[in-house]
């Protein structure tokens, strides 16, 4: 019995040690293959551990961002694993140079059989080195839209907005067209189409859309939102809102919120969207007196604007009450509205303090503010919805002579110097329109000029007895006009 067991063990030993083939001077046996398998698994595990150590500890301490950490650790881990495999082969007696010859001989056959794997492998290296995308980017590839979560040598994993995962071969990333929505940052522009009845007031529509944009917390103030008039559809005007946000991947949420707000504002202003129309058709008998006219008469159903009791104040109408803008055309007023923005104040919030630069003009759309001298706590006046202030401070660069704070929650329409300057550069003829309007109120201008002289803001070189020449030159200097 013992002899049989010993004989069996000897035969098994011979089976594991008997050479199966020779590679150079090295004989390959089952025992060697088993050892190599164990060593290779250990080398790959060490490579994975080294990658995690780099990603989560070492590179974090060096202050390297997540995307760069992932790329660096991936390349290093594959390098360490490859080096470990070569060391293992050398220690097991393999002649690496002879393996290179063998690999070269098999390369053509392997390349033909595994060309897609090879292509994805090389593409993965390109992605990691050139970095057209990186971990955390928000990308669109064909119909797939999501965040890049992992970049491997063969494929890249993307997490979609629906929280599913898409595995994309790296070859597609190199050969396909990638829309990287967050290449430099997560800021992006969203576009909302708005259709209104073709009998609507375009300026009023522009104002309602911009109001919605400025009331959306996610919308950036710079670049400021824009409204484009894109054209004429059947029974409709087509507008488009451009709004910039910091987190473009939340576009569906922002679009929904803006549509709700736009619809609300249009409804309050009595502006119809096309599907609010109703058509009434009168069919005339073939032999009636009206048979020569069109067989169908179309009437549009319109809301009665005057019946809207809570219609909000229009910045366009309020601007026309400002002395210096009262003769502006609707097109000129629209340009003012486009460069303006909405500002919210909570109760007791300060708008500005006395002595600060007078670089913004305000109209109160809702709520009220108190104007007072802060140093002596003296109340001057209370301004309510529909009132405006600061127009001369904006256009002549006059510092604030009093402080302003909100008495209640207040919404203001504001035109800042930067936006006003941009408008004048784009429409230089408006500067002369303003100068001519100033000419109708020369007594007030003389008072303002004297105030500036007393504060030392008008020197002898700038002073001119012709008040219009002085205003024209001051506008040129303040707003860098030619």
pLDDT digits (tens, 9 = 90+) for 321-346: 887 788 888 888 888 888 888 899 99
Candidate from 47-51, 135-139, 289-293, 449-453 with smallest mean pLDDT: 289-293
What pLDDT is recorded for position 426?
Answer: 81
Burial class (CB in 10 A: 0-12, 13-18, 19+), 196: buried
Separation between Cα atoms, residue 329 and residue 345, nearest integer Å = 30
Q: Percentage of the chain with pLDDT > 70?
A: 72
Q: Percentage of the chain with pLDDT > 90?
A: 21
- For the segment 350-354, the average pLDDT, to the nearest whole number, is 94
Which has more confidence, 105 or 209? 209
What pLDDT is recorded for position 460?
Answer: 59
What pLDDT is recorded for position 267?
Answer: 87
pLDDT at residue 139 above 70? Answer: yes
What pLDDT is recorded for position 42?
Answer: 81
What pLDDT is recorded for position 302?
Answer: 41
Candidate from 124-128, 148-152, 233-237, 338-342 with smallest mean pLDDT: 124-128
Distances (CA, A) of 279 to 238, 297, 298, 300: 20, 9, 6, 6
pTM over 0.85: no
Q: Which domains does the chain have, with CATH numbers?
A: 18-113 (1.10.287), 130-180 (2.30.30.60), 188-276 (3.30.70.100), 315-479 (2.60.120.10)
Instruction: Give the sign of the dihedral formed by CA 18, CA 22, CA 25, CA 26.
Output: negative
pLDDT digits (tens, 9 = 90+) for 170-206: 777 777 778 888 777 788 899 999 999 888 899 999 9
What pLDDT is recorded for position 120?
Answer: 64
8 Å CB contact between 424 and 477: no
What pLDDT is recorded for position 8?
Answer: 65
| Termini Cα distance of the chain | 113
8 Å CB contact between 312 and 269: yes
- For the segment 266-274, the average pLDDT, to the nearest whole number, is 82
pLDDT digits (tens, 9 = 90+) for 208-241: 999 999 889 999 988 889 999 999 987 889 999 9
Which has more confidence, 90 or 473? 473
What pLDDT is recorded for position 308?
Answer: 53
Confidence of residue 108 (pLDDT cuts 50, 70, 90): low
């Amino acid at each position: 019995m013992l002899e049989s067991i010993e004989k069996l063990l000897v035969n098994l030993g011979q089976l594991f040690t008997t050479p199966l083939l020779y590679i150079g001077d090295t004989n390959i046996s089952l025992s060697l293959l088993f050892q190599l398998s164990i060593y290779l698994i250990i080398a790959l595990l060490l490579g994975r551990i080294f990658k995690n150590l780099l990603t989560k500890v070492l590179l974090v301490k060096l202050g390297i961002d997540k995307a760069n950490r992932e790329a660096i650790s991936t390349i290093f881990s594959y390098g360490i694993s490859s080096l470990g495999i070569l060391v293992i082969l050398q220690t097991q007696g393999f002649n690496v140079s002879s393996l290179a010859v063998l690999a070269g001989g098999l390369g053509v056959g392997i390349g033909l059989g595994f060309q897609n794997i090879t292509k994805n492998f090389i593409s993965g290296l390109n992605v990691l080195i050139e970095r057209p995308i990186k971990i955390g980017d928000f990308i669109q590839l064909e119909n797939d839209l999501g965040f890049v979560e992992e970049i491997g040598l063969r494929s890249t994993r993307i997490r979609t907005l629906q929280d599913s995962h898409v595995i994309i071969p790296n070859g597609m990333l190199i050969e396909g067209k990638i829309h990287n929505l967050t290449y430099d940052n997560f800021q992006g522009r969203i576009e909302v189409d708005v259709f209104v009845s073709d009998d609507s007031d375009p300026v009023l529509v522009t104002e309602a859309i911009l109001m919605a944009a400025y009331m959306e917390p996610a919308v950036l103030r710079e670049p400021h939102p824009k409204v484009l008039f894109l054209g004429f559809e059947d029974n409709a005007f087509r507008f488009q809102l451009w709004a910039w946000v910091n987190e473009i991947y939340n576009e569906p949420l922002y679009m929904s919120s803006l549509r709700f707000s736009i619809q609300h504002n249009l409804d309050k202003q009595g502006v119809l969207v096309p599907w609010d129309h109703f058509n009434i058709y009168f069919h005339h008998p073939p032999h009636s007196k009206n048979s020569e006219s069109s067989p169908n008469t179309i009437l549009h159903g319109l809301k009665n604007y005057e019946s809207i009791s809570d219609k909000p104040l229009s910045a366009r109408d309020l601007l026309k009450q400002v002395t210096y803008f009262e003769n502006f055309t609707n097109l000129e007023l629209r340009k003012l509205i486009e460069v303006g923005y909405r500002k919210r104040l909570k109760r007791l919030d300060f708008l500005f303090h006395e002595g600060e630069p007078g670089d913004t003009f305000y109209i109160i759309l809702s709520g009220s503010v108190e104007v007072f001298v802060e140093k002596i706590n003296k109340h001057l006046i209370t301004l309510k919805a529909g009132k405006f202030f600061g127009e001369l401070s904006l256009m002549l660069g006059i510092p604030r002579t009093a402080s302003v704070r909100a008495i209640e929650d207040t919404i203001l329409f504001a035109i800042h110097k930067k936006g006003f300057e941009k408008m004048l550069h784009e429409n230089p003829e408006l500067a002369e329109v303003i100068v001519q309007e100033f000419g109708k109120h020369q007594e007030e201008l003389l008072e303002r000029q004297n105030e500036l002289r007393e504060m030392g803001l008008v020197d002898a070189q700038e002073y001119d007895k012709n008040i219009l020449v002085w205003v024209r030159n001051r506008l040129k200097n303040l707003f860098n006009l030619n």
